[in-house]
Structure 1
């Protein structure tokens, strides 16, 4: 039977509609293999993401790059307000979903093989995007991003190490100009392959440069810096109110970004630090601990650095109070292990343990008061009697329940014992001779008292080789990788 052209067209239209229906049914949130966007074409798409709704140069930046001509995509949570007159051909991708519209899809709005993230106020330089693209392709595996400065001030090349287990990103200066680096400081256009951008879990998080650098460092991607620069627009000074708004937005965005990336501490190139975790006025960074295994251990991480900082501060405060009152105390359990190994808290520990002589409790007014009701001291630390038994806790604050446990022991004959036993393997009686005399050891930034034969004391508590063979608190739930080989954790800063 002869098929007429109109019949063929009708069959094709029906087949296409069936294919589209199949794609939508198979996975509404992502395209099926048959429904992917067309293969990327040569070229560079300019993405404008880091700009403010107020006092921005968005229209001028978009106009400059659209004139090259290259595709320009403005990306924002919502359309800029006040409205910005974007040039013809410049597309707007709204990231915040609208219940009445299809979900925003970055991959459906980029059709070129490369993208360039351009900061607000930059101006196009003929041929420079192509030179960046060529440099990236010529670099091979040596670089996955290329940066070119914006304006007359050159960018500063930095090294960047991200330590997920320690929730930390460390920036450092480089002694000599390197071929590649981990991050740059200063305004810059960043170019990379589209497939690499789309492979990132947070491709357009703000601030864009920091988000890209940290995600690149986690993948061991390097950055190549171009000597040529893009011009910067001449702009009127930002008003004091606009500067205040921009600074507050930048702080909040950076804090949100670090939360999403799992970073609680930044060490900057000048040695200063930024902290994003818990403090005196907040709850601690982890919830109730079950089976001696905090949730962060199950996630492959160690104690958040802000928590370690709070534990160190609480320890120093408690040690000073006990010594001032004449209370005899000593480092117990895992805290003594940390002192012997590192002079600090074990990097995955979630509290500090001190033993005290029960008859000395009344010497410290805070312990004496806590025996009947929780009491907050002048520096905001909360002292209380534990509900689980006959021991005391000193919390970092009412809000943040990171704490030091104080275990009252008493001598029965020549053996030190106590009335509350929680079933931990190290929870055992021991000869009083370990405490006569007690000896000073460095711990958590202070000199604390410890048993006089730490090795014998610890091996009595934990078994032979306890010092050389670190392990998580409950190996039955989670084992320390490398523990069988006796790998010791690295030292921690104070």
Structure 2
């Protein structure tokens, strides 16, 4: 058969394609073309800003001009829309059903070894981020953050002491230069791997979230003297200020809940409280086996709960004394008074004993006898307990932190009662312990107590009860196992 030129060209083309396919099949896979993780440099991350009034576009434009990578992080896209400069990317943090979790692979979004969290309204200074990075790398191993002020007001160095068992963060003046937190507006720089190793890497407000999580890990912070300029911005409208304040308050409370903090002691001695109040439920649920859930988590009674218990105990003692009801500190509450003059730090209620014959003297107890809860003039709720013949006074109708009132009566010189819940310390005792009753400091006021506290407690709890503290049910959790 005669081979024409057209057939020869077609056969050559087919052969070439087959050869290319064979080479592609035998060749090793091509290397990944994406940039390697941890490349040198700094990525600017803009996180702390409001949708309604911000300088996001100006801040992003200033840092993008250096040029360095700039990323904006927000739960959802800002509205009204913000005209971001070319090359500035938006990281949306709120998960959606059709997309992978946004922080599952942070290296996809931030590939540089360092990241700078920049507050809204900051202006770039050439070379300052690099100097912050160098200061971080030249520091000791405990220095994991570097801060530089924004604007003309210098940063104030603070020490931050965390007391996890007491749900407390305590600030105090720090040594200039190296500290654990700062007061003032600041750019914060750290290694990208450190940021995304934190459980709440982009929680707001960003500085407080980073400082507390860093303090849990023993990280230190270095302060740079050089400052970033702050943008000149028109005053925020009154409505904008109101919105910003409400949002800030909501975010702060959510952050404290996430971080397990219910009390902040500020450097000037003022306190901020988070957790339960009169209008909310208490901070923990039903107690099983005399062991509240927080003990199993290695914590003690939340400070807001202790404060509410003190307030309730003081109120109940005042009502009982005013109406002539004879009462005394019982059980673990008397133990706390003997050890500390206060409630035991891990206790979850307060116990008073009362003379049963005096119940009718107090109108609130007399009304509770009928079985209906009654709220007194100050919002405390009195009721007969469902578990037996005793009474409870709750902090409020919503918050069920309470004082238990146990009605005892004398029988042949021995104080007894009709309801026993099986607690080891729940035993009869001679009435002579109450003749007379004696005053004793407790929870910020003076309460009445048995006249021989040590003998009374050792009858209830055994020898050495005052000197040897223990959790309510050592079979479930012992003190010292935290």
For 2:216 and 2:402, locate their aligned partners in 1 and report how far apart those are by CA, in whole Å.
32
Aligned to 1:411: 410
Aligned to 2:3: none
**RMSD over equivalenced CA pairs, Å:** 1.9
**What's the CA shift for 1:98?**
2.1
Aligned to 1:139: 139
CA displacement, residues 200-248 of structure 1 (integer Å, 9 cap, x when unaligned): 0000000000000010011111111111000111111111111111111
For 1:70 and 1:298, locate their aligned partners in 2 and report how far apart those are by CA, in whole Å.
47
Aligned to 2:478: 479
CA displacement, residues 1-60 of structure 1 (integer Å, 9 cap, x when unaligned): xx95543434669x68xx99xxxxxxxxxxxxxx99833111111100000111100000
CA displacement, residues 320-379 of structure 1 (integer Å, 9 cap, x when unaligned): 000001111110000001101111101110000000111111111111111002111010
For 1:11 and 1:54, locate their aligned partners in 2 and report how far apart those are by CA, in whole Å.
58
Aligned to 2:312: 314
Aligned to 1:398: 397
For 2:380 and 2:221, locate their aligned partners in 1 and report how far apart those are by CA, in whole Å.
46
Structure 1 contact 303–349 (Cα < 8 Å) conserved: yes
Structure 1 contact 107–198 (Cα < 8 Å) conserved: no
TM-score, with normalisation over the residues of structure 2?
A: 0.93
Per mean C-alpha deviation after superposition, the further-off stretch among 219-228 and 103-112 is 103-112
- Change in Cα spacing, 1:180 to 1:36, as seen in structure 2 (3 Å) is farther
For 2:423 and 2:287, locate their aligned partners in 1 and report how far apart those are by CA, in whole Å.
14
For 1:378 and 1:411, locate their aligned partners in 2 and report how far apart those are by CA, in whole Å.
32
**What's the CA shift for 1:266?**
1.3
Aligned to 1:32: none
TM-score, with normalisation over the residues of structure 1?
A: 0.91
Count of aligned positions: 462
For 2:481 and 2:205, locate their aligned partners in 1 and report how far apart those are by CA, in whole Å.
37
For 1:9 and 1:263, locate their aligned partners in 2 and report how far apart those are by CA, in whole Å.
59
**What's the CA shift for 1:436?**
1.1
For 1:10 and 1:238, locate their aligned partners in 2 and report how far apart those are by CA, in whole Å.
64
Aligned to 2:363: 365
SS at match of 1:153: coil
Aligned to 2:124: 124
- Change in Cα spacing, 1:371 to 1:38, as seen in structure 2 (3 Å) is same
Aligned to 1:166: 166
For 1:339 and 1:37, locate their aligned partners in 2 and report how far apart those are by CA, in whole Å.
65
CA displacement, residues 111-144 of structure 1 (integer Å, 9 cap, x when unaligned): 1111100000001111110111111111122411
**What's the CA shift for 1:270?**
1.8
Aligned to 2:439: 440
CA displacement, residues 60-96 of structure 1 (integer Å, 9 cap, x when unaligned): 0001111111111100011111111111111110011
SS at match of 2:139: helix
Structure 2 contact 262–302 (Cα < 8 Å) conserved: yes
Residues 83-232 of structure 1 aligned to structure 2 (within 5 Å): 83-105=81-103, 106-174=106-174, 177-232=175-230
SS at match of 2:454: helix
CA displacement, residues 151-191 of structure 1 (integer Å, 9 cap, x when unaligned): 001111111111111111111223xx434111111100000
Aligned to 1:264: 262
For 2:21 and 2:63, locate their aligned partners in 1 and report how far apart those are by CA, in whole Å.
45
2:352 paired with 1:354: yes
For 1:149 and 1:449, locate their aligned partners in 2 and report how far apart those are by CA, in whole Å.
55
**What's the CA shift for 1:459?**
0.8
- Change in Cα spacing, 1:12 to 1:446, as seen in structure 2 (3 Å) is farther
**What's the CA shift for 1:433?**
1.3
Structure 2 contact 314–445 (Cα < 8 Å) conserved: yes
Structure 1 contact 440–447 (Cα < 8 Å) conserved: yes
Residues 36-115 of structure 1 aligned to structure 2 (within 5 Å): 38-105=36-103, 106-115=106-115
Aligned to 2:233: 235
**What's the CA shift for 1:102?**
2.8
SS at match of 1:60: helix
For 1:37 and 1:430, locate their aligned partners in 2 and report how far apart those are by CA, in whole Å.
78
For 1:244 and 1:436, locate their aligned partners in 2 and report how far apart those are by CA, in whole Å.
60
Structure 1 contact 163–169 (Cα < 8 Å) conserved: yes
Aligned to 1:465: 464
Structure 1 contact 37–108 (Cα < 8 Å) conserved: no
For 1:77 and 1:12, locate their aligned partners in 2 and report how far apart those are by CA, in whole Å.
44
Aligned to 2:22: 7
Gap regions ≥5 residues in structure 1? 21-34, 484-494
